[in-house]
């Protein structure tokens, strides 16, 4: 469920609480916290790196040494073709944040940008500087209309850069609904949309540091000529090389894809976009950050069940297989694993791991497990912290039951509703913009019983205390050995 929580929500909550307290202490000061909150809301959008209303990517990953070049407001027939030649001579890949209206006007230049291997981001349809002051419907239309134009060129930009870098409180939900994220910048040369070209390279190179996302513009200059602008661009590229700063594609710098070729099979999906971007560092995050406590507990529980549930199994379905943290162990104990996940990038890493370890009985299946076709039956269906993303878990269990063979097993570990879990749900809503569902033991038992499973065993784990019954539920359920056919059910 889309739930875009941001620092703005918590500042608002704090301001309101102070307002209530001051009503009883000093009425004359009661409105002050609310006034301060409103002032912050007015000022925050003017700072392109301030993630007040939504997460904003404005710098690269700290572990990556380099910078990225981004060009806004084009394409422009006077500048962009010459810029493409310049980038080609220097062997540099850039990202062009393009407006929909200009992409329609100059389709040949758009194709040239893509053919040259550069990425394209969404910069709204019409590039109105006052876009963020307009209503939700207009903002939605500006983003979606531009996406429709880009789809004609066979691409779907995932990165959105708002005009002038200004954001508002409505933007994140719209981006989530379209499977996108916000990218601004950390370094610019104060060119004011190429109104101030002279000295651009000098101003920029004086302050550039590793990790910078550099903002430039590929539109005709208001000061000087195009030749002068291209000379400044050339000095910037050469100056970055002299400083020992590699110019990297934006996706390498930030660790997230900024554009995909072709429409997503599942449509705009925030979980898909999030995990595609996280794939390269996923394994490290799962076992070397705060997430590791939960993941390590899952792996310990899974290892205990591995020889019991998976040894000698025929076909196994793993829901949300990801990069294969559990998949390879399962594959070594059964005949075949169908590894399903919404993230193609995660599944590619799984396939590489399997090939490296000479494991050949894994078949990957990309898509939304709630809607994609499932072929045949399975001895075991399993999932590890994946069911929280499903929209309708009861309906999914009913659907899954049809694909679990008589006597087969469903085994999963999922989030348990608790006080501690609430804090992780809030944190996830701030990070992904999604509210991950958690359930009680009773809810899980009711859902599985309604789907026709029996011998349901549910146990709780992780941070069990008098305040909380644990954060994880480990569930084992079985399909009856004898299952009524549809005709028998109708007769009953």
Handedness of CA 77, 79, 83, 86 (dihedral sign): positive
Residue 486: is its pLDDT beyond 50? no
Q: Is the pLDDT of residue 488 over 60?
A: no
Does the pLDDT at position 8 exceed 60? yes
Burial of residue 486 (number of CB atoms within 10 Å: 0-12, 13-18, 19+): exposed
CB 363 within 8 A of CB 338: yes
Q: Work out the pLDDT band at 487, boundaries 50, 70, 90.
A: very low
Annotation marks residue 217 as catalytic: yes
Note the CATH number of domain 278-491: 3.40.50.150
Q: What is the CA radius of gyration of the chain?
A: 26
The pLDDT tens digits for 244-274 are 999 999 999 998 889 988 876 556 677 888 8
- 224 — phi, psi (to 5°)? 80, -170
Whether 382 contacts 412, CB under 8 Å: yes
Q: Taking 70 as the threshold, does the pLDDT of residue 194 lie above it?
A: yes
Confidence at residue 485, expressed as pLDDT on a 0 to 100 scale: 43
Tell me the pLDDT tens digit for each residue of 267-305. 667 788 888 888 888 888 888 887 889 999 999 999 999
pLDDT tens-digit readout, 318-349: 999 999 999 999 999 999 999 999 999 999 99
Q: Which one from 123, 217, 439, 461 is the annotated catalytic residue?
A: 217
- The predicted model gives 421-432 an average pLDDT of 89
Q: Which fold has domain 53-263?
A: TIM Barrel (3.20.20)
Q: How far apart are CA 172 and CA 168, in angstroms?
A: 8
Residue 169 predicted with pLDDT over 90: yes
| 461 labelled catalytic | no
| DSSP per-residue letters across 26-75 | -GGGTTHHHHHHHHHHHHGGGSTT--SSS-EE-B--TTS--BEEEEES--
């Amino acid at each position: 469920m889309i739930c875009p929580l941001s620092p703005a929500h918590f500042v608002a909550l704090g301001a309101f609480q102070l307002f209530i307290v001051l009503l009883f202490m000093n009425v004359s000061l009661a409105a002050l916290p609310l006034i301060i909150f409103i002032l912050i809301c007015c000022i925050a959008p003017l700072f392109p790196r301030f993630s007040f209303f939504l997460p904003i990517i404005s710098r690269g990953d700290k572990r990556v040494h380099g910078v990225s070049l981004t060009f806004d407001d084009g394409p422009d027939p006077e500048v962009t073709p010459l810029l493409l030649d310049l980038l080609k001579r220097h062997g540099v890949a850039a990202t062009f944040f393009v407006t929909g209206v200009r992409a329609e006007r100059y389709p040949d230049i758009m194709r040239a940008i893509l053919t040259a291997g550069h990425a394209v981001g969404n910069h709204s349809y019409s590039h109105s500087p006052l876009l963020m002051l307009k209503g939700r419907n207009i903002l939605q239309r500006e983003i979606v209309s531009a996406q429709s134009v880009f789809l004609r060129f066979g691409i779907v930009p995932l990165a959105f850069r708002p005009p002038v870098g200004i954001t508002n409180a409505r933007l994140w939900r719209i981006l989530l609904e379209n499977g996108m994220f916000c990218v601004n910048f950390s370094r610019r040369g104060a060119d004011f949309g190429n109104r101030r070209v002279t000295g651009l390279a000098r101003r920029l190179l004086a302050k550039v540091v590793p990790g910078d996302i550099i903002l430039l513009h590929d539109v005709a200059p208001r000061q000087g000529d195009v030749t002068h602008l291209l000379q400044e661009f050339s000095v910037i590229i050469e100056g970055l090389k002299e400083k020992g700063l590699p110019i990297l594609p934006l996706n390498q710098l930030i660790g997230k894809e900024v554009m995909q070729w072709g429409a997503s099979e599942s449509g705009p999906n925030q979980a898909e976009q999030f995990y595609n971007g996280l794939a390269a560092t996923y394994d490290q995050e799962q076992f070397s950050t705060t997430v590791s406590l939960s993941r390590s507990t899952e792996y310990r529980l899974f290892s205990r069940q591995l020889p019991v549930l998976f040894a000698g199994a025929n076909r196994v379905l793993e829901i949300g297989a990801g990069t294969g943290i559990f998949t390879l162990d399962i594959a070594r104990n059964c005949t075949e694993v169908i590894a399903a996940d919404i993230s193609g990038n995660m599944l590619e890493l799984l396939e590489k791991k399997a090939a490296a370890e000479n494991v050949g009985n894994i078949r990957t299946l990309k898509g939304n497990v709630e809607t994609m076709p499932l072929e045949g039956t399975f001895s075991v269906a399993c999932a590890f912290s994946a069911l929280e993303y499903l929209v309708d878990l009861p309906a999914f269990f009913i659907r899954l039951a049809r694909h679990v063979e008589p006597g087969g097993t469903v085994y999963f570990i999922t989030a348990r509703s608790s006080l501690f879990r609430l804090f992780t749900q809030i944190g996830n809503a701030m990070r992904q913009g999604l509210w991950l569902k958690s359930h009680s033991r009773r809810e899980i038992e009711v859902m599985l019983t309604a789907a026709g499973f029996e011998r349901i065993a549910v146990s709780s784990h992780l941070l069990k205390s008098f305040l909380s019954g644990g954060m994880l539920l480990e569930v084992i359920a079985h399909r009856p050995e004898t299952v009524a056919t549809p005709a028998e059910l109708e007769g009953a």
